[in-house]
Structure 1
Amino acid sequence: MVRPLLLSLAFVVALALLPVPAQAWGLLGHRLVALLAWDDLTPDTRHQIDVLLEGEPDPTLAGIAGWADDLRKHDAALGRETANWHFVNIGEHDCAYLQRRDCPGGNCVVEAIRKQTAILADTRRPNAERLQALKFVVHFVGDAHQPLHAGYGHDKGGNDFQVNWNGRGTNMHTLWDSRMLVSTGRSEQAYLDHLRTLPRPVIGTMTLPPPAADWAEQSCRAVKQPDFYPRRAKLEQAYVDKHLPIAERQLRAGGVALAAVLNKALDRH
C-alpha cells in the first residue's frame, strides 16, 4: 500500500512542476485593466454591459477579465482555436504592424480585437454571441498592452528567455505578467488606487474598428528599449525598480483604451 501511494504522490508533484503557458498580466493585471475601464464607462455602456453579464457567476467586467485565459480548461477546442489571438510578434519588424505578414488569417491580438469589437457592437446578433465577444475584448485589450505580447517571435514573447529573480527561476514573460506586480505586496484595491493616481494617457478619438495596431506597436516599443532584456540572467532589484513603472503605465493605458472601445461599441446615446 505504501509504494502505490508514494508513486501517486510523485505523479501529482510531477504534474505540479510542469510548465504552464504564460498568461498576459496574470489575473491581477487583467482585473485591474477592467476595473480601471469601469471608471470611465458611460451610464448607458454600463447598463448594456450589465444586461449582457446577467447570469454570469461574477457579473462584473473584472469578473470576466480572465475568461479567455481559462478557455483551455473549460472549452479546449475554442482555446486552441483562439490561442494565437492573445499576441502578435512584431519585434523583428521594428514594431511596425503589417496585417498580411504579422497576422495571417486574422489570428493575432490586433485583428481579434477588431473582429470581436464588431460582434459586440452589432445589436442584431444574439446576446450570447455578444457576451462572448465582450469577454474577448476585455481580455485582448489588456493583452495588447502587455509589452511581451507584441514582442519577438524568436523567443516566444519572452517565454524562452530565462531569468532568476529573488532566488527563483522564471522567464521574462512571467516576470512582466505577474511577478513584478505581485512583488509589491499590494492588494487588488490598493493597486487599483495606485494606478488611478497615474496620468491618463491620451489615446485620441476612438473609432471602430479600434486602433489595436497602435496599441501593439506602442507595447512593442517598450520591448525594443536597450535595457528591456537584461544582460545577465540573474536580475537585480534595480531592474524591477526601473521597469515596474512601465508595466503600471501600460495597465493604466489599457484601462483607458478598453473604456474607449466599450463606450464606442455600446453607448447608444
Structure 2
Amino acid sequence: MKLLRFVAAALPALLIASPAAAYWEFGHETFARIAYANVTPRTRVAIDRLLAQTPMLETPTCPATTIEGASVWADCVKPLKGPDGKSRFGYAYTWHFQDVDVCAPFTLADACKDGNCVSAQITRDVAILKDKRSSAKDRAQALVFLIHFVGDLHQPLHAGEKHDKGGNDVAAAYGTYSPRRFNLHSVWDGTLAERAITSGPSLVRRYPAAQRRRIAAGTVTDWSRESWQVAHDVVYTSALKGDPCAPSPAKVTLDEATIERIVPVARLEVKRGGLRLAKLLDAALG
C-alpha cells in the first residue's frame, strides 16, 4: 500500500519526467536524513543556522528550512518564474546531471564544459560554503543545491546514459506496473528507489566511523565514475538483458527476478550518497 500511495502522489512529476528530475521526494529526503545523522554536531548546528536563512531565497512555495525541504528545493523551484515571466532558475537546469556515454571511455570533459554539470556544481557549492566572505544568501543557496545535487549524482542515470536523455526515452515496465510514459529513468527515480530504501533495516542511522570513511573515500570525480559504471553495469545491462550497448528496444521490462537483483545496488547508491554528502558538509561547515 505504501508503494501505491507513493506512486500516486508522485505520478504528476513522472508524467513530466526530464533528465533533470532525479529521485522523487522520498529518495532525496532519505539522502539528506542519512547525511544529517552522520555529520558532526558542530556541522549540524551550522546546517540548521543556514537553513534558517533560506527564506532569503524568496521561494515561499518551496520552503527549505528543514533538511527534508532543502533536499527537494532544487527540483521544487524549477517552474518558478520572475515578474518578467522568465524562469528564475532556468540557468541551473543542466546542473542536475552529466551526460557521459556509458559505451565510451569515461570523461567529464565534454559533459562538464564550463562547469554546467552536477559534479562541477557540487565542487562549486562546497567552495562557496567554505568561503566565509560569501553572503548568507549565497551560502544558504549553495547548501540547498549541494544537498540535492549529491543525491542527483548517485542516481546512476544522471551520471551515465546512452544518448537517451538519461533513460527518459526508453519506455519501461516495472514488473507488471507500466503506466503510460513510464520509462527507465522513472523506474530508478521512484519505484525502484522506494523499494530499495524500504527493504531491510532503515538506511537512516549513524554508521560506524570506519564504514563512513570507507564509503565516503575518494573525490567527486571518483564518485562520478562509480555512478557512471553502475549505469553501465547494472541499469543498462539489466534492462537490455546483458548487453548494455545494444540498441534499446521500444520498451524494456524489468521482471521481478531482475528487480530483486538490482534492489541492493539501488540501496547502496542511496547509502553512498548520504554518507558522501555528510563528508562534504563536514568539510565545508564543520
Under a length normalisation based on structure 1, what TM-score does the superposition of the two structures give? Answer: 0.81
Q: Distance in 2 between matches of 1:20 and 1:181?
A: 18
SS of the residue corresponding to residue 233 of structure 1 reads: strand
Does 1:217 find its partner at 2:215? Answer: no
Q: Distance in 2 between matches of 1:17 and 1:121?
A: 34
Over aligned residue pairs, what C-alpha RMSD do you find?
2.7
SS of the residue corresponding to residue 265 of structure 2 reads: helix
Q: Deviations over 1:140-198 (max 9, x none)?
A: 01111111001125111111111122241411111001111335794xxx887246499
TM-superposed deviation, 1:21: 2.3
- Given the alignment, which residue of 45, 52, 55 partners 1:54? 52
- Given the alignment, which residue of 16, 19, 23 partners 1:20? 16
Does 1:202 find its partner at 2:208? Answer: no
Mapping of residues 141-152 of structure 1, within 5 Å: 141-152=150-161
Answer with 1 or 2: which has the greater Rg: 1
Q: Distance in 2 between matches of 1:184 and 1:114?
A: 28
Instruction: Give yes or no for contact 1:35–1:192 (8 Å, CA) kept in 2.
Output: no
Q: For structure 1, which segment, 253-262 or 71-80, has the greater mean C-alpha deviation from structure 2 after superposition? A: 71-80
Does 1:155 find its partner at 2:151? Answer: no
Instruction: Give yes or no for contact 2:102–2:232 (8 Å, CA) kept in 1.
Output: no
Q: Which amino acid aligns with 1:171?
A: N
Mapping of residues 89-168 of structure 1, within 5 Å: 89-92=99-102, 94=104, 96-99=106-109, 101-165=110-174, 166-168=176-178
Gaps of 5+ in 2: 1-11, 55-62, 242-250
TM-superposed deviation, 1:27: 0.8
TM-superposed deviation, 1:50: 1.2
**Residue 44 of structure 1: aligned partner:** 42
Gaps of 5+ in 1: 1-15
Instruction: Give yes or no for contact 1:196–1:252 (8 Å, CA) kept in 2.
Output: no
**Residue 186 of structure 2: aligned partner:** 174
Percentage of pairs with the same residue: 33
Q: Deviations over 1:71-112 (max 9, x none)?
A: 22234624321111011122346462333x221111000111
Q: For structure 1, which segment, 221-230 or 151-160, has the greater mean C-alpha deviation from structure 2 after superposition? A: 221-230
Under a length normalisation based on structure 2, what TM-score does the superposition of the two structures give? Answer: 0.76
Q: 1:108 to 1:192 in 2, by over 3 A?
A: farther
Q: Distance in 2 between matches of 1:71 and 1:33?
A: 19
